[in-house]
Amino acid sequence: MQKLKLDDLQRVSVSEFKEQEKLPVVVVLDNVRSMHNVGSVFRTSDGFSIEKLYLCGITAQPPHREIEKTALGATQSVDWLHFPDTLEAIKSLKEEGYKIIAIEQASGSIMLNTYQPNADEKYALIFGNEVNGVSDEVMKAIDECIEIPQFGTKHSFNIVISAGIVLWDFFAKLRL
């Protein structure tokens, strides 16, 4: 077995990426503090070819070198918008027919392994602040809540890990 070189991967160009079919998902970042986390979510969003990334509240916006450290150029490929308030983003997404889903530990949440997305629906997946999670106001405006099962001593995953797990799960269930 030999590791592939970058040229062997035959990745699409940014312009080709913009034109290709997208996973029917918008990722919403609800007041995410760390610019490295923002950049990593951009990169993960590129990897799973999502529709858009919504940066809300205090979530930092490109261009910024701290975001680019981890985004590695994904700020150019992934379409994004900034909303001063996450509820404003949710209102816009609901008007466009998206199902609003918080990724959070909450009463009545659905475990990710049992959640089955529908290929005929569009999804907005909300990931919250590193300390406080998805805000209480936003939790009142969601349609559903998905929880990632965990089995260790810690109470949560880093937002980037959560985004990777959930986006992979949606990609696998909707595209593979």
Per-position pLDDT tens, the chain of length 176: 999 998 899 899 999 999 999 999 999 999 999 999 999 999 999 999 999 999 999 999 999 999 999 999 999 999 999 999 999 999 999 999 999 999 999 999 999 999 999 999 999 999 999 999 999 999 999 999 999 999 999 989 999 999 999 999 999 999 99
What is the predicted pLDDT for the residue at 142? 98
Model pLDDT, residue 16: 96
Rounded distance between C-alpha atoms, residue 54 and residue 173, angstroms: 23
Domains annotated for the chain, with CATH where assigned, are 20-147+156-175 (3.40.1280.10)
DSSP letters of the chain?
--PPPHHHH-PPPHHHHHHS--EEEEEEEES---HHHHHHHHHHHHHTTEEEEEEETT---SS-HHHHHHHTTHHHHS-EEEESSHHHHHHHHHHTTEEEEEES--TT-EEGGG----TT-EEEEEE-BTTTBS-HHHHTT-SEEEE----SSSS---HHHHHHHHHHHHHHHHH-
Whole-prediction pTM value?
0.97
- Taking only Cα atoms into account, the Rg of the chain, rounded to an integer number of angstroms, comes to 16
Is cis: bond before 63, omega within 30 of 0?
Answer: yes
